[in-house]
Amino acid sequence: AQTVTQSQPEMSVQEAETVTLSCTYDTSESDYYLFWYKQPPSRQMILVIRQEAYKQQNATENRFSVNFQKAAKSFSLKISDSQLGDAAMYFCAYRSTTSGTYKYIFGTGTRLKVLA
């Protein structure tokens, strides 16, 4: 069974600085998807970024980028130029591409605080 681990329960970053959130996962599959979701205090789950395992290039979305290390089964999220609005819980998620398996497996989350 696949597992997703986020070892940092809480992180802090100064406004305008860069922070990296860690995520590791365990799987025997070669093809899968990885995601980072953000959950602000409003509790809405918002997709931040996604990565297909068959792509070697790291995904980027504006100030958000990932460092995907397939061999190490690591998928970290880098937030550049941190803003107060980035303060939230961040969840890493794994999804198999096996036909008929649609569920996501989420990590336990990292709470990010942004200091003014």
Partner 1 sequence: DTAVSQTPKYLVTQMGNDKSIKCEQNLGHDTMYWYKQDSKKFLKIMFSYNNKELIINETVPNRFSPKSPDKAHLNLHINSLELGDSAVYFCASSQVWGWTGEDTQYFGPGTRLTVL
Contact set with partner 1 (CB under 8 A): 31, 33, 35, 37, 39, 42-47, 50, 52, 54, 89, 91, 95-100, 102-104, 106, 108-109
Using the minimum distance from each CB to partner 1, give the nearer residue, 10 or 17.
10
Structural tokens at position 46? 């918002």
CB of 104 vs partner 1, minimal distance in Å: 6
CB of 114 vs partner 1, minimal distance in Å: 18
CB-based burial label for 85 (10 Å; 0-12, 13-18, 19+): exposed
Q: Which residues contact 80 (CB under 8 A, 6 or more apart)?
A: 18, 63, 64, 65
CB of 109 vs partner 1, minimal distance in Å: 5
Task: Please name the residue that has the structure tokens 């996962």.
Answer: 25
Structural tokens at position 15? 């406004």
